[in-house]
Amino acid sequence: MRKATRRMIAVTLLLGALGAAYAQAASGKEVAPPVTEAERDAKRKDTIRYGIDAEIMDLLTTLSGEKEGRYNDDLLALFSASRSSKLRIAILEFFRNLEWPSAEDEAVRIVEERDLEDAGLVSASLSYLAALRSKKALRFAPKLIEENDRKLLPAVVKLLGRAGGPAEEELLLSWLSKDAPTEALRLEAILALGEIGSRKSVEALMKIVEGAEEPKMNRIYAAGSLGKIGDVRAVTALVKAANADDPNVRTAAIEALGAFESREAERALLEAFRDSFVKARIAACQATAKRRLSSALPVLEYKAAKDPDKAVRREAFRALADIGSELALAEPFAFMRSFYDEPKSETEFRALVFGLLVRKDRASLAWLVERFTAASAEKERSLFKALAREVASATEAAGIEPLVRILLRDKEFEIRLGGLEWARKSKSTDIRGDLSALAESDPSETVRKRAAEILASF
């Protein structure tokens, strides 16, 4: 899973926890003492050992959201012992999402003995093996294709693309040209050629992207594969598709152009900011960020401040932060600080800008501390609480302990809990003294217990 996706999941979970704390604080009630990590681990292991299928499914959902793999060995033992195909499929899907390799031999065995196994479990095993790019599983591919089981073929094609080499490339090219038994499998072959990095397929994929008579999804998938392959020959076809009638085809082509460094691709990306389709403008923001395209900074600043769609504005701010960070440019961050200081700027965007500066620009730290301190002193604290959420969720940001100390010393105990959550995840030894003080003398029993627990985990 991508890093940005993982970060969004973590932030969502954290904001939910802090939101509950705020609600309880507003009612005058203090949150219950926290469950210790040891207690939680024991409960989860008992669920895996003794729980019914529904309980284990719920636990898998929770672990998936946390990207938590510490119970994988226990789950693998359950997978081997269970006779429930539904549960085994769920466990394999969890392992697939984590790309955890230790179930490979068991999945290979299931594919090898597929005549004796549930068809859904065989398909899940192949999908898991594809995610691992399993070379061991490729030996089954020719026979599986010969068997022509429509339920298994999509996973087989994914395996060919993710784990295959020249022989598998030729097979996929054959499918693309004439042999794919269904349109859905032809789409899978298009995707697989991108995964395999097939330069032999570039001209065929270009024809699909350019072909106005081609089905929309074929053109979208072909554009994505050309972006993954990265052969400069594809740029002309992608630029043409970036001006197609169908807005989703345009969006896919714009996304793909982010993989190319040619001047032609750059011009097309800058022009894409004018597209009336929101997703196309979002794609332009993301593609210029991927390219670290400094020439896009003026239009990104305009879009961040004035685009009619909030989703585009958010993505433009993120692109500015990425480009500024990667190219060590001061200008994007100066623009963001100026935007924050504009009194008419909306709270949600001020908080977004503040969070991006926290994560991306260490040179802004003194400015951040000053603005954070000022917000904490305001009588109406909605802005401060929005900023506090950004700080508390920035567990990957280095050197922001001065901001976290503002959380830990705040008058409201739920704000202090946000600082403790940052400390629990970041394991920063620079705030051990602050944690010790909270553990010893904070007026909230919940804060004292949680600070002590975090100290013990260091």
The amino acid at 448: R
- Contact in structure between 194 and 225 (CB atoms under 8 Å): yes
Q: What is the pTM of this model?
A: 0.83
CA-to-CA separations, 111 to 90, 143, 276, in angstroms, rounded: 17, 11, 48
CA-to-CA separations, 14 to 67, 94, 388, in angstroms, rounded: 14, 22, 12
* Annotation: CATH topology of 165-272: Leucine-rich Repeat Variant (1.25.10)
Show the tokens assigned to 80: 């081997």
Residue 431 reports pLDDT greater than 90: yes
Rounded CA-CA distance 322/225 in Å is 24
- Contact in structure between 421 and 5 (CB atoms under 8 Å): no
pLDDT band at 148 (very low <50, low <70, confident <90, very high): confident
Residue 147 reports pLDDT greater than 80: yes
The set of residues, in sequence order, having a beta carbon less than 8 Å from that of 422 and lying 6+ positions away, is 391, 392, 393, 394, 395, 404, 407
The amino acid at 287: A
Rounded CA-CA distance 107/154 in Å is 17
The amino acid at 262: S
Q: What is the pLDDT of residues 11-48, one digit of tens each?
A: 444 445 455 444 444 444 555 556 677 889 999 999 99
- The pLDDT score that the predictor gives to residue 23 is 45
Domain extents in the chain: 1-32+363-458, 40-136, 165-272
- The pLDDT score that the predictor gives to residue 175 is 80
The amino acid at 78: L
Residue of 309, 336, 306 lying closest to 321 (CA atoms) = 336
Residue of 310, 267, 309, 302 lying closest to 288 (CA atoms) = 267
Q: What is the pLDDT of residues 315-372, one digit of tens each?
A: 999 999 999 999 999 999 999 999 999 999 999 999 999 999 999 999 999 999 999 9
Residue of 196, 264, 253 lying closest to 227 (CA atoms) = 253
Q: What is the pLDDT of residues 257-293, one digit of tens each?
A: 999 999 999 999 999 999 999 999 999 999 999 999 9
User: Over the chain, what is the mean pLDDT?
Assistant: 91
- Contact in structure between 439 and 455 (CB atoms under 8 Å): yes
SS (H, E, C) the chain: CCHHHHHHHHHHHHHHHHHHHHHHHHCCCCCCCCCCHHHHHHHHHHHHHHCCHHHHHHHHHHHHHHCCCCCHHHHHHHHHHCCCHHHHHHHHHHHHHHCCHHHHHHHHHHHHCHHHCCHHHHHHHHHHHHHHCCCHHHHHHHHHHHHCCCCCHHHHHHHHHHHCCHHHHHHHHHHHHHHCCCHHHHHHHHHHHHHHCCHHHHHHHHHHHHCCCCCHHHHHHHHHHHHHHCCHHHHHHHHHHCCCCCHHHHHHHHHHHCCCCCHHHHHHHHHHCCCCCHHHHHHHHHHHHHHCCHHHHHHHHHHHHHCCCHHHHHHHHHHHHHHHHHCCCCHHHHHHHHHHHCCCCCHHHHHHHHHHHHHHCHHHHHHHHHHHHHHHCCCCCHHHHHHHHHHHHCCCCCCCHHHHHHHHCCCCHHHHHHHHHHHHHHCCHHHHHHHHHHHHHCCCHHHHHHHHHHHHHC
Mean pLDDT to the nearest integer, 190-213 = 94
- The pLDDT score that the predictor gives to residue 34 is 61
Q: What is the pLDDT of residues 229-252, one digit of tens each?
A: 999 999 999 999 999 999 999 999
Show the tokens assigned to 427: 């394991």
- The alpha carbon dihedral of 97, 102, 103, 109 has a sign of positive
Rounded CA-CA distance 178/168 in Å is 16
- Contact in structure between 232 and 260 (CB atoms under 8 Å): yes
